[in-house]
């Protein structure tokens, strides 16, 4: 039986999670993309704690209108600002099995603009 897109993404995601672990020094930024929204969170995998989170549904981005790619860039800037406020400057980027293209790339560019290093 042929593998679906979701199964392929989950296989890539599992392979990445087996090799990369977010720590207190360098946490992992996880990305989830749905058809309408995009979510990002910075996680310390050693303790299982989310250190910062942002999504396209946040109150700060309610007034933002534009394409989903532009909105993803704003989410990246927002997660970058929240991370810097908590004292995080460098992260490991977990694209969640998605291709580094479109909204995922735009979110990463926005986070870099805000000052995160990865």
Predicted local distance difference test score (pLDDT) of residue 42:
97
How many domains in the chain?
Answer: 1
Tracing tokens 């749905």 back to the chain, one arrives at 34
Look at residue 68 in the predicted model and tell me its pLDDT. Answer: 96
Q: Is 15 part of a structural domain of the chain? A: no
What CATH number corresponds to the domain at position 67?
3.30.420.100
Q: What pLDDT shows up at residue 20?
A: 84
- Does a structural domain hold residue 47? yes
Domain containing 58 equals 24-114
Q: What averages of pLDDT result for each successive group of 10 residues across the chain (118 residues)?
A: 92 89 92 97 94 96 91 97 96 95 98 97
Q: Is residue 42 part of a domain?
A: yes
- Decide if 64 is inside a domain: yes
């Amino acid at each position: 039986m042929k593998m679906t897109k979701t199964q392929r993404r989950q296989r890539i995601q599992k392979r990445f999670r087996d090799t990369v672990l977010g720590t207190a020094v360098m946490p992992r930024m996880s990305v989830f993309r749905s058809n309408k929204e995009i979510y990002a969170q910075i996680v310390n995998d050693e303790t299982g704690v989310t250190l910062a989170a942002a999504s396209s549904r946040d109150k700060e981005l309610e007034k933002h209108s534009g394409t989903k790619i532009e909105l993803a860039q704003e989410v990246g800037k927002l997660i970058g600002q929240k991370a810097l406020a908590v004292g995080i400057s460098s992260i490991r980027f977990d694209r969640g099995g998605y291709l580094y293209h479109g909204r995922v790339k735009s979110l990463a560019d926005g986070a870099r603009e805000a000052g995160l290093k990865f």
